Chains A and B, each alone.
Chain A
Amino acid sequence: MTATTTPPVAAEEEAPLRPRARPRTPAETLGTSARYLALIIAAGLFLVPFYLIIRNALAADSEITAPGWTLFPSTIHWENFGELFTDPSVNLLQALGNSAIVAISQTVGMLLLCSMAGYGLARIPYRYATPIFYAVLVTLMIPPAVTFIPSFIIVSQLRWVDTYQGIIVPVLFSGFTTFLFRQYFLNFPRSLEEAARLDGLGYFGAFWRIVVPNSGAFFSAIAVITFINNWNQFLWPLIIGQDSSKWTVQVALSTFLTAQTINLHELFLAAAVSIAPLVLVFVLLQRYLVQGVAETGIKG
């Protein structure tokens, strides 16, 4: 749909767009300084929410609510961690575990199902491949969130409300991800697969032994984006995981936010803990993430 499936952009763009051989004029120097000034201000604003999370997570409530801004708590309250994880009314570990189960199995499942379907649609010359591809394309016109009530109905008929499979399975069948894989495999060099064929491998062997091992970057990009989206998804787990034993970390945070049953520093510390795995993924795999976003335009 909106994926323009453009030719891969070089992952990094360290080479400046227009290298300048000419000596700088005062006007250019001024322009560059203005650009940096604008970027520094913007970057400062962008970091404010992270600063607030850390500040409030490590403070005592009295410092958060004190009149007059405390830039940072005078003593860092590391004991907030112990308090958060032993608070019986919070059970953050359960929520983090649920989120991990949900996000990891959704990422693995979606990658498996959609990459295989995409490969079949791209490469196997089956008689009905084209009409089946159109049946997939049609689903791209309706974003899944818009049909959450229909999806809830089927899950309730399967008696999957308040189960992991209810949260995990219905999300797996992404027409969009399949479409992206199909476009990717269409551009995969045929010669490699033909070599596999000559070695006596069928489609299955060619896919697993040749195509997948040579598509690491693309799979990683989709995996990182899918994982982040699934970790952060809210509406679907909110509807299906109604019992507190099935709350994901987003649903748990939202409940504490609306009910305000726990104190401020615990809430902010819980928020910090909930984004920590993602920041880690983000820092380690940003290259794949940026490349994936640039090439596919996927976002949750």
Chain B
Amino acid sequence: MATTEVAAPPRGSRGRGRIGGVAPAFWLFVGPFLAGLVIFVYVPIIWSVILSFSRGQNTVTPGDWVGLDNYIDLLKPGPFLDSLVTFTVFAAFIVPLTFALALGLAMLLNRIRFMRTFFRSVFFLPTACSYVVASLVWKLSIFNGVRFGLANTVLGWFGVDNIAWLATTDPPWYWLVIVTVRLWLQLGFYMILFIAGLQRIPRDLYEAADVDGAGRGWQTFRYITFPQLRPTSVAVLLLLLINAYQAFDEFFNLLGNSSFARPPLVYLYYTAQGNQDYGHGTAGAVILALLIMIVTLAQGRIFGFGRAE
């Protein structure tokens, strides 16, 4: 068979098997996906850009052009800009907290021998929970604001009065509720990423540091672990930021359409689904998409986008 062919064709060139040439094979493999990508990603985005220049009240058919009015409305001081502020505050809490705690847990787990898999499973288990279930527990059992709630029970042991966690804006205790939900749900996931990163650090670096007399503590962390973890840290930071940007579930379930803490997607949800205002809704979606593209590209510019290529 093959051995009889002295000059075999360059490999990968013609692949003449049961399915003809290269082009039909390629379309067989990629065509269905590509068709879906066009219909459910490209067409909607283009449609939305066009619709964002229309009034779009109660309709998703472009027409009744208003130029840039939708964009101008959104960029005036108002609920949309407030939602970006809410996101910023949220990210300022959740990103550093998750980063530090996930790294801390990963380093702790990396230094122990017994029960390592057990602890890892416990921290990773909340990944199986949805934001809805977690919000339910937080809202009705931990931070329900009445005496039988867990948080108030514990505080009661120390003589602290009931706190209405979600119902008050002064002080804004709802941030504690919102941030801890997400922290609980996502910490294990980022911990796994850090554990994988830590295991990629060549062990002889530590041995060399040992020989050089560096202590096991802060110095090895400062000069070996942290610099070696840089690719993981960058990926984790970007993921945390992008995921916080898309926060919806816990805000929707814990606070609903509250005026004081609506992140961008919650604002867009009530604009489009609630008020049927698709003009402002699509304009908002376009702005959010542009903002996140800028962040992704800037990150790529700085840290080498597509290095894996």
Binding site for B on A (CB under 8 A): 1-6, 9-10, 12-14, 16-18, 32, 35-36, 38-39, 42-43, 46-50, 52-53, 56, 64-69, 113-114, 116-117, 119-121, 123-127, 129, 132, 135-137, 139-143, 145-154, 156-157, 169-170, 172-173, 175, 178, 183, 190, 194, 197-198, 200-207, 228, 231-232, 234-235, 239, 250, 253-254, 257-258, 264, 267-268, 271, 274-275, 278-279, 281-282, 286, 289-290, 293-295, 297, 299
Interchain CB contact under 8 A, B288 and A146: yes
Hey, which chain A residues are within 8 Å of B18, CB to CB? 200-202, 204-205
Interchain CB contact under 8 A, A183 and B308: yes
Binding site for A on B (CB under 8 A): 1-2, 11-13, 15-20, 22-23, 25-26, 28-30, 32-34, 36-37, 39-45, 47-48, 51, 60, 105, 108-113, 116-117, 119-142, 147-148, 150, 153, 184, 186, 188-189, 192-193, 195-196, 198-200, 203, 206, 231-232, 235, 238-239, 242-243, 245-246, 248-249, 252-253, 256, 265, 268-269, 272-273, 278, 281-282, 284-285, 288-289, 292-293, 296-297, 305-308
B273 CB to closest chain A CB, in angstroms?
6
Interchain CB contact under 8 A, B110 and A146: no
Interchain CB contact under 8 A, B15 and A197: yes
A131 CB to closest chain B CB, in angstroms?
11
The A contact surface, by secondary structure, is: helix
Interchain CB contact under 8 A, B289 and A146: yes
Top 8 A-B pairs ranked by shortest CB distance? Answer: A202-B17, A120-B29, A150-B44, A117-B33, A294-B196, A232-B130, A126-B26, A173-B36
13 pairs of residues in contact across A and B, judged by CB atoms under 8 Å: A3-B308, A5-B308, A35-B108, A49-B137, A113-B36, A117-B34, A141-B293, A146-B245, A149-B284, A153-B47, A153-B48, A154-B43, A299-B189
Interchain CB contact under 8 A, A65 and B130: no
Interchain CB contact under 8 A, A294 and B30: no
CA distance A213 to B43 in the complex (A): 35
B148 CB to closest chain A CB, in angstroms?
5
A147 CB to closest chain B CB, in angstroms?
6
Chain A minimum-CB-distance residue to B288: A146
Hey, which chain B residues are within 8 Å of A68, CB to CB? 153
Chain B minimum-CB-distance residue to A228: B128
A14 CB to closest chain B CB, in angstroms?
7
